[in-house]
């Protein structure tokens, strides 16, 4: 096994016990990037020299005083919406040509302080406003979409071209590409991880979180990211928590909600079968399955759009006037349309969100976790724009990919995706586990137990 | 002295010690209402039978088990935006004809539980969307405006036709009429007093609070109103506090900010002189005066309007379509204009508010209280629509009345108005004391000390 193949937890343990040096690990990952980047296009930029330098410093620090924690010396990739001092944050857009970040984002600073080594920046759907990330190919099938908007981060982790990565999620942008590439993605509770220094798509829905190979790895990264930062107005002062799941896989006492509506409507039969098998596994591990009904479902999409679209347009107002031709056509039309929305429609969305949040809190009084598909279909062919369902309904690919993820953005609840199998075409399927606000522990516990009793370490694409 | 002339604190003490019965007090106030209502028009409706019944029950309870607290048996008036189970909430509007409140508002329920006796509902500028309250006359001069929108409540208290009253405040609607009628008004910190069951003007700016004769009385009422209610999404779980100011008047240690900009610009010289004398009094009592500069002043008005106008229109959307002719012309034009605002403009206001709040918090790090005029002019003649300033600038009366109050709505900080004298026409002048969020104690302490060393019990209009 090459160092680049190690999970974060295993690499950290190897470093801690002196069996692996950060220099070897980073060199191995950088070689792996060179190998897969031409095929997959996960990275916008690779900072090899800087990474090797940081790895040597980490090695020296660890030799002198031991590892500061599990991220010390671990190679990480950042979605290219996340500022790192002195480097460009391209947002995968021509609009950002010549950009230079004024300083570290809070998450970059926290990962650096924890000793992580940044190997590069990964592609996003332009300004995170889309679900495919066209510059990047799916890690399992080059002819299929990476998913988005954190497509580069998910593909980098799936292809073992980063030990972990960060993504952002406004309607599913961590979970969708993680599911489509067979890796783990966590959208934390709204307000738990500060967004200072991260390019916004829609500030009332934006989240930053980890994309990793295992649930345990996601918990380790979350531990370094979480915590109050007054520079993000939505950041909350949650009590510090150890998010790392315990070693056991017994789920006795855990109540897992299984939606009777919404989450299994218009879902591919292979996806549904895999997720239902995974839910049955949770029950075998001791969880009690509870039927739940998702409230106010017809409000989810208009509320999500009614919040996101005008916030995105507000963020881009100046550049949209100054250099409209530098945006991709699909993003530009969304931004321009957003400028036409009335305050009344936006307020309706804000009010509906308040009611949706309360209705979800009420529903979640009866369960600890809700289990459901992450996306209703696996990765589509690049260029495919629509899906036709068994009843003849036609849905755009973007709408299908965002449909099951958006509720956790509107309500702010934590949501994890874990790989639960492959469809007949050999493409990964993800199960979504949602919790109560700041209920990351229950979500990670369920995901970890599932993972430990199945294909531990995640699925591996034929690379 | 007649019972109706007593302050809340004095009436409560008389009741507690058996020198006064709630029945006598309520009868006295009801007689006073009959006497002044034809001239002043403070009340929409007077519930004399219900009040007498409640007073008798309070008398029985007190005879049996003593008074539950300082509000037990005390006659109160509610602005007619505040629901009381089984009665109409008219909002002083023809739109509400035939209205019947589905239940008690949180504040009505809390006052009832504290033993207060409701004598009636008072006039508001229609749906709180204005600063004059045309149905009601100023308690000091029938030819002048009551101020608004809580004009009826302020006039009722000033005319001794209620021992205390509740108002609501979205841009100054408690403080403006309180100042113009020579009484005390408190807009508490945003989120401290729940708005469940209170008709909204603009939910992100609306506050409920007391209008009283003295600062001590305001503190007593606040004690009954404050506390978390999950039915108001903005209600916060603040630690319970005793808001009643101590008996002393020593202000040693209190830092009082005196604005060098904004609050004394375009202010009538008589108003300015009175307020500066009152500030000098605070210094004589031991307070340390500190120069402060109000930040981002050019954003205050557009932020306030950018939040209020579309929220008001959203609240009235259905009735504005169904029965536009039932609104007064001045309110209808505002509601209709609000429907034309874009989501972008509303978002700009929301973002500016976030920055304004932070800038105010930074400013208030250096002081405990800010002292300033409440309104730049005293009560204008009914029908007057504009003010001309010494430099030739013309300002609408509404803009003038709201100008110095709105910052505390946009930022959510607590703001108290206390009477500080009369202008040469014999009209009351108010000083505004603003504090840090949940800093009611400092504001009430300063106001109480000022009041105790001057015209204790408030000024009395020639009735």
Task: Tell me if B310 and A343 make a contact (CB, 8 A cut-off).
Answer: yes
Please report, for residues A87, A147, A169, A176, B412, the alpha-carbon distance to residue A123 in angstroms, rounded to integers and kept in the order given. 15, 11, 14, 15, 41
Residues 6+ apart with CB under 8 A from B410: B205, B300, B303, B304, B307, B353, B356, B357
Catalytic residue among A28, A149, A274, A313: A149
pLDDT digits (tens, 9 = 90+) for A336-393: 999 999 999 999 999 999 999 999 999 999 999 999 999 999 999 999 999 999 999 9
Task: Tell me if B347 and A344 make a contact (CB, 8 A cut-off).
Answer: no
From CA B162, how far away is CA B6, in angstroms rounded?
10
Helix (H) or strand (E) holding A107: helix A106-113
Q: What share of residues in chain A are helix, strand, coil (percent, to 5)? A: 40, 15, 45
From CA A196, how far away is CA A185, in angstroms rounded?
21
Catalytic residue among B21, B79, B235, B405: B79
Tokens 């009636």, located at residue:
B120
Confidence (pLDDT) at A460 = 73
Closest-approach residue (CA) in chain B for A234: B354
Query: A234 — contact with chain B (CB < 8 Å)?
Result: no
Q: Is residue A41 part of a domain?
A: yes
Q: ω before A149 within 30° of 0 (cis)?
A: yes
Confidence (pLDDT) at A458 = 54
The burial of A50, by beta-carbon neighbours within 10 Å (0-12 exposed, 13-18 middle, 19 or more buried), is given as middle
Confidence (pLDDT) at A403 = 98
Q: What is the predicted ipTM?
A: 0.81
Q: Is residue A462 part of a domain?
A: no
Closest-approach residue (CA) in chain B for A353: B233
Closest-approach residue (CA) in chain B for A314: B344
Is B187 tagged catalytic?
no
Longest Cα separation, chain A: 65
Task: Tell me if B348 and A314 make a contact (CB, 8 A cut-off).
Answer: yes
Nearest 5°: the CA angle A384, A387, A389 is 160
Please report, for the domain that includes residue A289, its CATH number.
3.90.1300.10
Residues, chain B: 463
Q: In terms of residue numbers, what domain contains B427?
A: 3-452
How many folded domains does chain B comprise? 1
Question: Which of B344, B354, B356 is best to mutate for the A interface (most A CBs within 10 A)?
Answer: B344
Q: Is residue B461 part of a domain?
A: no
Residues 6+ apart with CB under 8 A from A247: none
Q: Choose among A339, A344, A358: nearest Cβ to B310.
A: A344
Q: Is residue B460 part of a domain?
A: no
**Residue B137's beta-bridge partner residues?**
B145
Confidence (pLDDT) at B453 = 86
Task: Tell me if A339 and B342 make a contact (CB, 8 A cut-off).
Answer: yes
The burial of B17, by beta-carbon neighbours within 10 Å (0-12 exposed, 13-18 middle, 19 or more buried), is given as exposed
pLDDT digits (tens, 9 = 90+) for B340-398: 999 999 999 999 999 999 999 999 999 999 999 999 999 999 999 999 999 999 999 99
What is the Rg, in whole angstroms, of the alpha carbon atoms belonging to chain B? 20
Q: Is residue A459 part of a domain?
A: no
Nearest 5°: the CA angle A144, A148, A154 is 80
Query: A344 — contact with chain B (CB < 8 Å)?
Result: yes
Chain B residues close to A339, C-beta within 8 Å: 342, 344
Query: A345 — contact with chain B (CB < 8 Å)?
Result: yes
Confidence (pLDDT) at A455 = 54
**Residue A7's beta-bridge partner residues?**
none
- CA-based nearest residue to B402, from B390, B387, B422: B387
- CA-based nearest residue to B208, from B121, B107, B111: B107
Give chain A's residues under pLDDT 50: 456-457
Helices (H), A119-212: 151-158, 175-180
Tokens 């209280």, located at residue:
B369
To the nearest whole angstrom, how far is the Cα of A25 from the nearest Cα of chain B?
44
To the nearest whole angstrom, how far is the Cα of A354 from the nearest Cα of chain B?
7
Q: Is residue B84 part of a domain?
A: yes
Q: Is B348 in contact with A318 (CB distance < 8 Å)?
A: no
What is the three-class DSSP state of B22? helix
Confidence (pLDDT) at B384 = 97
To the nearest whole angstrom, how far is the Cα of B84 from the nearest Cα of chain A?
24
Instruction: Provide the 10 A C-beta neighbour count for residue A399.
Output: 15
Task: Tell me if B354 and A233 make a contact (CB, 8 A cut-off).
Answer: yes
Question: Which of B205, B230, B303, B342 is best to mutate for the A interface (most A CBs within 10 A)?
Answer: B342
Q: Choose among A311, A341, A358: nearest Cβ to B342.
A: A341
What is the three-class DSSP state of B211? strand
Chain A residues close to B347, C-beta within 8 Å: 310-311, 314, 346
pTM: 0.88
Q: Is residue A100 part of a domain?
A: yes
Task: Tell me if B344 and A317 make a contact (CB, 8 A cut-off).
Answer: yes
Torsion of CA A240, A244, A246, A247, to 10 degrees: -160
Confidence (pLDDT) at A240 = 76
Task: Tell me if B317 and A344 make a contact (CB, 8 A cut-off).
Answer: yes
Instruction: Provide the 10 A C-beta neighbour count for residue B424.
Output: 7
Torsion of CA B302, B303, B305, B308, to 10 degrees: 170
Instruction: Provide the 10 A C-beta neighbour count for residue A241.
Output: 14
To the nearest whole angstrom, how far is the Cα of A413 from the nearest Cα of chain B?
17
Tokens linked to A409 = 């953005």
Is A187 tagged catalytic?
no
Q: Choose among A311, A343, A348: nearest Cβ to B345.
A: A343
Confidence (pLDDT) at A457 = 44
Question: Which of B233, B236, B341, B347 is best to mutate for the A interface (most A CBs within 10 A)?
Answer: B347
Q: Choose among B340, B341, B347: nearest Cβ to A314.
A: B347
Give chain B's residues under pLDDT 50: 456-457
Structure letter (DSSP) for residue A344: H
To the nearest whole angstrom, how far is the Cα of A318 from the nearest Cα of chain B?
12
Q: Choose among B341, B351, B358: nearest Cβ to A343.
A: B341
Is A149 tagged catalytic?
yes
Catalytic residue among B92, B173, B313, B405: B173
Confidence (pLDDT) at B457 = 44
Tokens linked to A123 = 């592609």
């Amino acid at each position: 096994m090459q160092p680049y193949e190690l999970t974060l937890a295993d690499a950290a343990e190897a470093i801690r016990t002196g069996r692996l040096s950060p220099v070897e690990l980073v060199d191995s990952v950088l070689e792996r990037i060179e190998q897969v980047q031409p095929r997959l296009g996960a990275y916008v930029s690779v900072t090899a020299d800087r990474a090797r330098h940081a790895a040597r410093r980490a090695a020296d620090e660890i030799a002198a005083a031991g590892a500061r924690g599990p991220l010390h010396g671990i190679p990480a990739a950042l979605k290219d919406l996340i500022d790192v001092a002195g480097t460009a944050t391209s947002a995968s857009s021509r609009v950002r040509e010549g950009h230079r970040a004024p300083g570290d984002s809070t998450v970059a600073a926290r990962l650096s302080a924890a000793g992580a080594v940044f190997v590069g920046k990964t592609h996003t759907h332009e300004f995170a406003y889309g679900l495919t990330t066209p510059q990047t190919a799916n890690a399992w099938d080059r002819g299929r979409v990476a998913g988005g908007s954190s497509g580069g981060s998910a593909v980098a982790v799936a292809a073992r071209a980063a030990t972990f990565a960060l993504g952002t999620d406004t309607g599913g942008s961590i979970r969708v590409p993680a599911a489509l590439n067979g890796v783990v993605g966590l959208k934390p509770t709204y307000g738990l991880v500060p967004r200072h220094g991260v390019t916004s798509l829609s500030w009332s829905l934006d989240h930053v979180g980890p994309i990793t190979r295992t649930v345990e790895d996601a918990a380790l990264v979350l531990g370094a990211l979480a915590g109050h930062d007054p520079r993000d107005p939505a950041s909350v002062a949650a009590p510090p928590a150890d998010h790392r799941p315990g070693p056991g896989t017994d789920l006795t006492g855990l109540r897992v909600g299984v939606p009777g509506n919404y989450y299994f409507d218009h879902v591919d039969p292979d996806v549904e079968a895999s997720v239902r098998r995974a839910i049955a596994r949770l029950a075998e591990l001791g969880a009690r399955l509870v039927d739940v009904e998702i409230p106010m479902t017809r409000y989810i999409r208009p509320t999500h759009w009614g919040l996101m679209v005008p916030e995105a347009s507000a963020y881009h107002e100046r550049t949209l006037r100054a250099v409209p031709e530098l945006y991709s056509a699909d993003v530009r039309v969304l931004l321009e349309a957003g400028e036409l929305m009335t305050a009344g429609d936006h307020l309706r969305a804000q009010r509906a969100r308040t009611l949706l949040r309360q209705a979800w809190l009420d529903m979640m009084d009866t369960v600890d976790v809700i289990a459901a598909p992450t996306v209703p279909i696996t990765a589509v062919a690049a260029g495919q724009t629509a899906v036709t369902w068994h009843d003849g309904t036609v849905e755009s690919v973007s709408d299908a990919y965002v449909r099951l993820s958006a509720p956790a953005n509107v309500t702010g609840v934590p949501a994890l995706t874990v790989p639960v199998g492959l469809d007949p075409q050999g493409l990964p399927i993800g199960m979504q586990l949602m919790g109560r606000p700041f209920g990351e522990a229950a979500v990670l516990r369920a995901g970890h137990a599932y993972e430990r009793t199945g294909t531990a370490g995640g699925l591996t694409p034929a690379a």
